[in-house]
Amino acid sequence: MDRFDDPAVTVAALTRRCQRVASLRGDAVALAWLSLESTDIANEFKNKSEATRETLAARLLKTIPSREASVKWKAEYDGYIRRRTLPDKQEANLRSVQQIEELAQMLREQEAATLVPPPHGMHSYDLGKHVAEQAQGRARLVESRIPLEAVLARIKDRLWEFLTETEYELTFGEATAETFDRLRSYVDKQLTTIAPPALEQFQAAYRRLKDGGDEDRAHALTSCRRVLKTLADQLYPASSEPVTGFDGKARVLDDAKFVNRLVQYVAETVGKHENGAVVQAALEDIGARLGALNELASKGVHAEVTTYEVDTCVVQTYLVVADVLRIRERAAPPERGGTT
């Protein structure tokens, strides 16, 4: 980014660098619109050979749910058309960014040629006519060049926006990843002794998440749901006997009511050590999050899910499980040292 505004660096070169960044990050949508900028769409079918190879952008787009990919792609394609359509023009300029730059440069060179001084000794009439023709020619060249440079400026603005967004995501993501890694290590360590099957289910969710297919995303959500149930089975086993909750209502917390069992566990555990207001706040927070998570995780069985939904579910499951485990840890009696 340090050389972004260097006049020696062309917009075409910047576009190729952005394509490389997008490909290294596996950013399918960005790679797709950047590929558009680098392609002579106006003559794409004329120049295309019969045997075509599937592009990296096309392969990466297949890893995104079709509906999500369609929405994102439409937004970027519309932006591409807007960048290349000027207010006084009917059609978008669909040439590649390199072709546009080369044409603009050619026009600049032709403009420079119109500034060459006329030959010595010209008659005043001929001189006036020569100068007028030069001015008219230069005006036509400028009129052709300005729209091209306007398109290039718009493309460059979009490239800068892409790079700054990417830089922010990488910087913020690194800090967030460190925080999440610490939380994940805590949860994994606790589950190793408390509920090993839940840890295996978390790992299964991560494996599915990395695989990236529609079915894998659905299974990742299902794994998150199983984590919650496994933890509930360990901390508050199902029972056919009615249990009075913190709200004073009696409920049968059977096998299917694992969310309610976790909430009841928190109520009984925190209630032994905190006042009523603290218990109520903890229950409202964890109860709402557990309910939302269960609803989201259940979606994997019935509908197409987006990458964002799966990411959210996995992360939020870790967060809520961490909170439940910390409540358990705080409520545990302190270990006694040796007698003196």
pLDDT in tens, 239-248: 999 998 877 8
Per-residue pLDDT of the chain (340 residues; tens, 9 = 90+): 667 888 889 999 999 999 999 888 888 888 889 999 999 887 765 555 555 666 666 766 666 667 777 888 899 999 999 999 987 777 899 999 999 999 999 999 999 888 888 878 788 888 888 888 888 988 999 999 999 999 999 999 999 999 998 888 777 766 667 777 888 888 889 989 888 998 888 888 777 766 666 677 777 778 888 888 999 999 999 999 999 887 788 889 999 888 888 888 888 887 665 554 554 565 567 667 667 767 766 665 555 667 777 777 788 888 888 888 888 888 776 554 544 3
* CB within 8 Å of 294: residues ≥ 6 apart: 225, 228, 259
> What is the phi/psi pair of residue 242, to 5°?
-60, 140
pLDDT on residue 12: 93
* Helix/strand/coil for 123: coil
List alpha helices for the chain, DSSP H.
11-25, 28-37, 44-47, 56-61, 66-83, 97-113, 124-194, 196-211, 214-235, 258-271, 276-302, 307-331
Dump pLDDT digits (tens) for 22-70.
888 888 888 889 999 999 887 765 555 555 666 666 766 666 667 777 8
Region of 26 (left: φ > 0; alpha: ψ -120 to 50; beta: rest) is left
The answer for residues whose C-beta is within 8 angstroms of residue 42's C-beta and 6 or more apart is 94, 95
Query: Please, which residues have CB within 8 angstroms of residue 101's CB and are 6 or more apart in sequence?
Result: 10, 11, 12, 152
Tell me how far the alpha carbon of residue 208 is from its chain's centroid: 18
Which pLDDT value is given to residue 66? 73
Strands 250-252 and 242-244: antiparallel
